[in-house]
Chains A and B, each alone.
Chain A
Amino acid sequence: MSRPPAALANVGLPGQWRAMRKFDAHNHVFLSGRRSNTDWSDVDNLIEAADVLGIERLFCSRPITAGVMANIDVVRDANDSVLAAMKRHPARIFGYCFVQPGNGASALEEIDRCLDGGMIGVKLYNQFRYIDPVIFPIAEKCIQRRIPFLGHSAFLTDPRTLAMQPKTSHALDFCALSRRYPELLLILGHINGGGDWEWEIKGLRDCPNVFLDTSGSVLEDDTIGLCVRELGHQRVLFATDATMEGCVGKILSAELTPTQREDIFWRNFQQILERRKA
């Protein structure tokens, strides 16, 4: 990983913030559409930004969004683009396998194919609520393969947004899934991805097996502090979901001890990944 010039300004920020080790537990490739097999600008911009911000590893997926119930061929194509990005930037981009649970056995086979290709986990979007039994085989596959299950989440209070995403899962759905599968490595995605984040954090208080990631475009003060106070810092994973500068800045601004910051930036997620080897 190339390093930016050491002399870049640091006003108001901790010293050596760029050099702090960081794993981005929730990001994406090709979300804006891959225009051709030779256009890597989106992926290369991601790596360029990661270099500037000192993000060593990016854990990426390419979900099918906008409520589309994609067939397995479309899902495979999306995952193939993630595999290609991993090959272009080995040791920087790592993959989550996106699956659409409604594809049944094909979805489970796709997880195996992705893991064989080097991916590290599964990413689900909002095609189904996570309390829907159609999710259970995916959760069981994740347990069997000892991989994390990263789920799109929000507690949406805006009626218009909710109407567009009626099956988006919130904290209590994650809790229900976690109670059914306590051994599942379950991650609530983007606590700041839009929606009432205070509700989400408080909703996770009684679900000790659910992690959350800090990504999202909302940069509101005290999000990270509330996560740590209510859940403990070891359940909190640094991530950006493409809001790269903002999400690094949130962790730098939060009132954390150096050890807490280091754990959130990378060590907590590293420990999740190591469970697969155990």
Chain B
Amino acid sequence: MIIDVNACLGHYPFRSLRFNTAEKMLGLMDRNGIDRALVSSLHAVFYRDAHRGNEELFEDTKSHGSRFIPVATVNPKYVGWERDLAEAVERWKMKIVTLVPNHHGYSLADEHGRAALTRIAQYGVPVMLMQRFEDRRQRHHWDRAEDLQVNELLEAAGAHPTLKFVLVNWLGLDGQRLVEAGLKGRCLIDFARTQVVYRKEVPKLIEALGVEAIAFGSHMPFDYVGPSLVKLANVRSLRTGDYEKIAWQNAAGFLEIEG
């Protein structure tokens, strides 16, 4: 069993993606032994009204409920966002919400970011923060969004002490700093960009936060799935690793979903 916590559906404006529809992604998951995936909508990142992307995502995934766990996207600068969030969480039962502050033009610490994080915490669902979609060294002329910064994350964690965080596609997370920010026990981190062997960022995070903090994530369909499958296989070479927890149990427990 594998649950992938780092996946998106939809078009990306700056590069062709091969497996970006529900049907195509299911085929990709089947070929790679991935049972379930958290999927957010790329359209929700780029539409002015992010919630239209949520509506599409809900429609696209509702007939594949056993495979996809849709992630709602909220733009707290857009009119009516609180009602949209309520629809996603209460009516559609979405179990997790993502924010893309650098694409929607605010920060986690300003009035918009604080309001969104507070509201998400009130619903008792985790917030997903993706550090980046692509490497900025290849950015399109119109791609102006910067990567999320570690300090911004740590400040948000401190300001919202009951909120749970799913951190995907991050590099540069220091386990001790996450502990100091109070994130031990309330964060789940994928290893799409970190290493199990050689640089050993994953065992260092496990040492600081416990193996419960680590989850499988591939960043499909942007990235090949193979890199994360290799890392998952290498988890068994770690003294501190726990294959089943990282493959799916941690994600299932954190999101309170069935495996």
Measured CB to CB, the residues of A under 8 A from B are: 4-5, 8-13, 17, 45-46, 48-49, 52-53, 154-158, 161, 194-198, 217-224, 242-254
Contact = CB atoms under 8 A, between A and B. Distances in A.
A199 to B, nearest CB: 8
Contacts of A248: 226-227, 230
A48 to B, nearest CB: 7
B217 to A, nearest CB: 12
Interface residues of B, number: 46
Contact of B222 (A11, A217, A220, A253): A220
Given A49-B198, A221-B18, A245-B195, A13 B137 contact: no
A17 B230 CA distance: 9
Contacts of B236: 5, 8-9
A158 B224 contact: no
Interface stretch (B31-39, B121-129, B154-162): B31-39
Contact of A197 (B138, B140, B219): B138
Interface string B206-241: 000000000000011111111111111111110000
A194 B138 contact: yes
A194 B31 CA distance: 28
Contact of B137 (A161, A246, A251): A161
A197 B34 CA distance: 28
Nearest to B197: A49
Nearest to B28: A221
B233 A157 contact: no
B237 A196 contact: no
A219 B227 contact: yes
B10 to A, nearest CB: 15
22 contacts: A9-B233, A9-B235, A11-B33, A11-B232, A12-B32, A12-B225, A46-B198, A157-B140, A195-B137, A195-B138, A219-B192, A219-B224, A220-B15, A221-B18, A221-B220, A221-B223, A245-B227, A245-B231, A246-B195, A246-B227, A250-B224, A253-B226
B137 A194 contact: yes
Contact of B136 (A161, A224, A244): A161
A245 B197 contact: yes
Given A194-B138, A195-B138, A221-B223, A245 B34 contact: no
B233 A252 contact: no
A252 to B, nearest CB: 4
A244 B198 contact: yes
B197 A12 contact: no
A4 B230 CA distance: 13
B137 A249 contact: no
B136 to A, nearest CB: 5
B211 to A, nearest CB: 16
Contacts of B228: 249
B17 interface: yes
Most buried by A among B2, B15, B226: B226
B6 to A, nearest CB: 12
Contact of B31 (A4, A12, A195): A12
A180 B243 CA distance: 53
A253 B138 contact: no
B206 to A, nearest CB: 16
Given A158-B137, A217-B135, A11 B224 contact: no
Contacts of B136: 158, 161
Contacts of A246: 195, 227, 230
Contact of A242 (B198, B222, B224): B198
B141 interface: yes
Given A49-B198, A219-B223, A11 B138 contact: no
A222 B195 CA distance: 21
Given A158-B139, A219-B192, 4 more contacts: A12-B31, A45-B200, A156-B137, A253-B224
Contacts of B58: none
A78 to B, nearest CB: 21
B46 to A, nearest CB: 19
Nearest to A193: B137
Nearest to A154: B137
Nearest to B138: A196
A20 to B, nearest CB: 12
A269 B230 CA distance: 23
Contacts of B193: 217
A40 to B, nearest CB: 14
B134 to A, nearest CB: 8
A17 B224 CA distance: 16
A12 B137 contact: no
B33 A252 contact: no
A8 B233 contact: yes
B237 A52 contact: yes
Contacts of B247: 11
